[in-house]
Structure 1
Amino acid sequence: MRLHGPALRLTIFVGETDQFHHHPVYTEIVHRAHKAGLAGATVLRGIEGYGASTHIHTTRILSLTEDLPLVIVIVDDAERIRAFLPQLDEIVDEGLVMIDEVDVIKYVGRRHERADRAHPGIAESG
């Protein structure tokens, strides 16, 4: 998949212990994004932060918490991102969901690179 030019960045802030049907919320979001064919999703684990609860979550040893902030970032074209939003309404009970307009400079998936290395000399069709 190639993505270039105007796109949307979907950023979702949740807690590490947030659950959806006995599964971590972040895992559910990533799996649904994959199933929806979105370009990619990345989960980033924060080392410290707070949200609506105003309780500070941190990795510092004296106040170590298991509920660290997580950020899921997904970038794709506007139509795909907007089509995915109803799924977030179902999954995210507590958190923050943001959309930003971005310009993608370069995005090339690795799958094609691996196929080219595995089968040198075979050109892709399509």
Structure 2
Amino acid sequence: MKIPKQAQLLRIFIGENDRADGRPLYEAIVLKAREMQIAGATVLRGAMGFGHSSRLHTTKILRLSEDLPLVIEIVDDEEKIAAFLPVLETIMTSGLITLEKVQVLQYGTDNE
């Protein structure tokens, strides 16, 4: 799979407890991105964060450690990211989505 030097980074901020069709939302997003042959997706788990409700989610307070923040980063060309955005609208009920232009310096090797 080729990815252009100029690409887009789609960043999705959700909670660990967010669900889509009974399974974790992060899993639904990553599997859909893979199905649509997006170049790459990574899920990052945060140690602390808050969102629109200003409710603090942290590993330091045991009772709040169940819904830690997650960030999903997805990189591909602008067209593929644009095609993926309507899919996100159908499976997400809340969260924050950002887009930024990125420069890809390396993606895989010639042996793949």
Category of TM-score, reference length = shorter chain: over 0.9
Whichever structure has more helix as a proportion of its residues is 1
Structure 2 gaps of 5+ residues are none
State how far apart, in whole Å, the 1-side matches of 2:65 and 2:110 are.
36
Residue 56 of structure 1 is matched in structure 2 by 56
Residue 65 of structure 1: how far off its partner (Å)? 1.8
Structure 1 gaps of 5+ residues are 113-126
TM-score (structure 1 length as normaliser): 0.83
TM-score (structure 2 length as normaliser): 0.93
State how far apart, in whole Å, the 2-side matches of 1:14 and 1:111 are.
35
State how far apart, in whole Å, the 2-side matches of 1:18 and 1:110 are.
38
Residue 95 of structure 1 is matched in structure 2 by 95
Mapped contact 1:42–1:74 kept (Cα < 8 A): yes
Residue 109 of structure 1: how far off its partner (Å)? 5.8
Q: Secondary structure at the match of 1:90?
A: helix
Question: How many residue pairs get matched?
Answer: 112
Letter in 2 for 1:25: L
Residue 21 of structure 1 is matched in structure 2 by 21
Residue 35 of structure 1 is matched in structure 2 by 35
Please tell me whether Structure 1 or Structure 2 has the larger radius of gyration of its CA atoms.
1
Cα-Cα RMSD:
1.6
Deviation beyond 6 Å, 4+ runs, structure 1: none
Q: Secondary structure at the match of 1:27?
A: helix
